[in-house]
Amino acid sequence: MNIILLGPPGAGKGTQAEKLIKELDAVQISTGDIFRTNIKNNTPLGQKAVGFMNKGQLVPDELTIDLVWDALDKVEDGKTILLDGFPRNITQAEALDEGMQKRDNKIDKVINIEVPEDVIIERISGRRVNISTGKVYHIKYNPPKVEGIDDETGEKLIQREDDRPEAVKERLDVYKKHTSVLIDYYNDKGILVTIDGTKTPDEVFEQIKKSLGK
């Protein structure tokens, strides 16, 4: 079973992905995490992506779609694929359909995590991340044991560059203009389920599991 996690910035896609990969023994493909790792390691891909990301704009489709193919080709046959942050517009969604078909595979479920804007702003402003692993915390809702330090690796937690207010505003605009149309795109295919993302992470996870028949 292959799944897309859809939702506005800060909806909790990464948080739920972390739980789902354990539950389903799935492989997570998070385009945002891949770009951030490339930026940290100053790779050619990171150098091309950084300007777009820091402004809160989408990285061009050619770069993004290619990196998803590379990631898909590395997934062992039969493993569940969990896409977080991809697709983000109709071009990417159509490319994904085609790419999956070529690999004799398909998307089975799209989980749309719904969260209103005021909650998004509070979540994003309190988020802290480990850039190496993608592990996400929140200063109030999911704090680390020691302030500013990742429980798992002892590395420093930071605030994402695109979590500054100007970039957040742009990300929300981009979501409304380009990504939210995917709700109808997948609803028309009959594979969309919408989840109330305002509950606690565990409650949201329970709703997701139920929607997957678990």
Annotated binding site for ATP: 10-15, 127, 136-137, 199
Residue 112 φ/ψ, nearest 5 degrees: -95, 110
d(CA 74, CA 118): 38
CB of 141 to ligand AP5, least distance (A): 4
Indicate the residue among 56 and 81 with the shorter CB distance to ligand AP5: 56
Binder of residue 53, out of ligand AP5, Zn ion, none (CB less than 5 to 8 A by kind): ligand AP5
Q: Work out whether 182 is an interface residue with ligand AP5 (CB under 6 A).
A: no
The question of whether 123 is a catalytic residue gets the answer no
Task: Verify whether residue 88 is a known catalytic residue.
Answer: yes
Residue from 81, 136, 192, 208 touching ligand AP5 (CB under 6 A): that is 136
Asked if 140 and 126 count as a contact pair (C-beta separation under 8 A), the reply is: yes
CB-nearer residue toward Zn ion: 14 or 104: 14
- Would you list the DSSP string of 117-157? HHHHHHHHHTEEE-TTT--EEETTTB--SSTTB-TTT-PBP
Q: Is 103 a catalytic residue?
A: no
| Kind plus residue range of the DSSP H or E element containing 28 | strand 27-30
3-state secondary structure of 108: coil
Active site residue 164: no
State yes or no: residue 137 binds ligand AP5 (CB under 6 A): yes
3-state secondary structure of 5: strand
Question: Judged by CB under 6 A, which of 6, 11, 26, 29 binds ligand AP5?
Answer: 11
Question: Catalytic residue at 128?
Answer: no
User: Which residues have a catalytic role annotated?
Assistant: 13, 88, 127, 160, 171
